[in-house]
Amino acid sequence: MTNELLSPEKFQRDTLSALNNPQLRRNFKRAMGGLMEKRQAVFADGEEWQQLRELGRSIRANALRKLPDLLEKLESNCRKNGIQVHWAESVAEANALVLEIAQRHQVKSVVKGKSMVSEEMELNHFLEQHGIEALEADLGEYIIQVDHELPSHIIMPAIHKNKDQIAQMFHEKVDPEAHAETAEEMTALARKVLRQKFYEADMGVSGVNFAVAETGTLCLVENEGNGRFCTTLPPVHVAVMGIEKVVERFEDVPPLLSLLTRSATGQAITTYFNMITAPRKSVEKDGPHEVHLILLDNGRSLMHADELLQKTLLCIRCGACINHCPVYSRIGGHAYDTTYPGPIGKIVTPQMKGLLKAGHLADASSLCGACVEVCPVKIPITDILLRLRHDKVEIKQAIPLAEFGGWKAKTERLVWKSWAMIFSNPKLYRLKSIALSKMGHFAPSWLPVLRNWTAVRSTPSFAKKSLHQMVREAGLSDE
């Protein structure tokens, strides 16, 4: 359940095995196709989409510009409302905070709403090591938790599995007697099992989609009602959020909500939009007695320190970039071996885990730009990918990451240096052209740099004459 194995070699192996898994590829192709169509239908009015995303971007950009002030404002307003606010620089600190709260209340079981930050923290695993049961209550998260897997998508965690695979899992690991085979039957079974867990839970954990600084309100977007259960029924609610999730004003919420649900799943709105501003007051009959908010940095303030990389923090975690990524839709979410897969993962993970460990993810893109086109807050994902690729080899200007350097940085650096030298010197360039046209085809296809290409394709043959030569012979002028 940890990312310790994250490495370029493993990524390459897992990518190959995903590509050779026809079932997996069918599951993803069907799912991504459907999501793209649905999204397109709800953004049919192109002018509205452009204006709305312009507004969304400006809201998020303004929030980042004022981030420290807004966090302080959020903290002070939450405290006024009775919400207890905690700060954590690292995942370990955040986990320790959750554990301390849980132990203070003698918590034995925790129910969790879907939260990507808690995935970053690997909170379930951590709590279980300390003898506290932590159960995912979102149906997709529940399915993969019972099957000891990690989410393969940030919005639809069990998207890599088809119905029969899930039915098999329910039969083996949830209730062999129930014979739940259809999606309806399995959902009904999960409802029964999880209602009992909600009933018993001592503490609820949730994420936060938007936190409103001016009112101290935590907003949660969901369809299932598990988020409402986790934040209403148990006596203690702990919300975990990345520090970038704050927005300044309440009126920032409606445009972002609209962009989020439409981009994510093509829904005009989700079933529930839950706005939490305080713990239970003495006259109230339900809601948690204590609400805690944990603000997690985990590399975000480092991203914030750089003009371009800061734009990574505009993200509202809709997953549209993932749904539209030709790489993701072919290899699925698990090959990345990260909390955040797909395009957003390729820019977030190397910045959170360091280029040394995760820099290879920035290479796993054709830079087609489909992600940039659909991003509701206009994150320049391809620019950031290029920047990370650059910084991976050019240590001098490296981004302020905890660890940088990079995968095969020296070789790669040498290749790029030589390339730059040849292409900026006419004599060398001509020499290279002549050499390649005469001897290029002698290059053995088993050379390490060529092997990945030539293993599945025929080796390209070099033209006898270069374009320059042909142009000169045709008598065209240089102008």
Which tokens is 238 given? 């702990």
Cα–Cα distance, 377 to 56 (Å, whole number): 6
Alpha helices (runs of H) in 233-341, residue ranges in sequence order: 253-265, 300-304, 320-323, 328-331
351 binds other proteins (CB under 8 A): no
- Beta carbons of 423 and 375 less than 8 angstroms apart: no
Minimal distance, residue 346 CB to other proteins, in Å: 22
Q: What is the DSSP letter of 310?
A: G
Choices 81-89, 121-129, 203-211, 433-441; region in contact with other proteins by CB under 8 A: 81-89
55 binds other proteins (CB under 8 A): yes
Q: In the stretch 263-302, what mask flags binding to other proteins with x, by CB under 8 A?
A: --x--xxxxxxxxxxxxxx-xxxxx-------x-x---xx
Minimal distance, residue 284 CB to other proteins, in Å: 5
Distances (CA, A) of 215 to 55, 59, 71, 151, 222: 21, 16, 12, 33, 21
Backbone phi, psi, residue 105, to 5°: -100, 15
Residues 153-177 as b/e (b if ≥16 CB within 10 A, e otherwise) read bbbbbbbbbeeeebbebbbeebeee
Minimal distance, residue 163 CB to other proteins, in Å: 4
254 binds other proteins (CB under 8 A): yes
339 binds other proteins (CB under 8 A): no
Q: In the stretch 122-161, what mask flags binding to other proteins with x, by CB under 8 A?
A: ---------------xxxx--x------------xxxx-x
105 binds other proteins (CB under 8 A): no
At residue 130, the 3 state secondary structure works out as: coil
Minimal distance, residue 173 CB to other proteins, in Å: 15
437 binds other proteins (CB under 8 A): no
Cα–Cα distance, 250 to 63 (Å, whole number): 12
162 binds other proteins (CB under 8 A): yes
Choices 1-9, 253-261, 358-366, 381-389; region in contact with other proteins by CB under 8 A: 253-261
Of 184 and 479, nearer to other proteins (C-beta) is 184
62 binds other proteins (CB under 8 A): yes
373 binds other proteins (CB under 8 A): no
- Count interface residues toward other proteins (CB under 8 A): 100
Torsion, Cα 376 379 383 386, to 10 degrees, reads -100
255 binds other proteins (CB under 8 A): yes
51 binds other proteins (CB under 8 A): yes
Choices 120-128, 226-234, 324-332, 361-369; region in contact with other proteins by CB under 8 A: 226-234
163 binds other proteins (CB under 8 A): yes
Q: In the set 166, 240, 241, 393, which binds other proteins (CB under 8 A)?
A: 166
Cα–Cα distance, 273 to 217 (Å, whole number): 12
Which amino acid makes up residue 235? P
Give 360's contacts (C-beta < 8 A, 6+ positions apart): 7, 8, 11, 407
The neighbouring-strand residues paired with 110 are: 134, 203
Choices 3-11, 212-220, 366-374, 435-443; region in contact with other proteins by CB under 8 A: 212-220
Minimal distance, residue 330 CB to other proteins, in Å: 18
Cα–Cα distance, 437 to 421 (Å, whole number): 19
Q: In the stretch 171-200, what mask flags binding to other proteins with x, by CB under 8 A?
A: ------------xx-xxx-xx--xx--xx-
96 binds other proteins (CB under 8 A): yes
Cα–Cα distance, 99 to 92 (Å, whole number): 10
214 binds other proteins (CB under 8 A): yes
Q: What is the DSSP string of 212-250?
A: ETTTTEEEEEESSSHHHHHHHSSSEEEEEEEGGGEES-G
Q: In the set 58, 437, 466, 469, which binds other proteins (CB under 8 A)?
A: 58
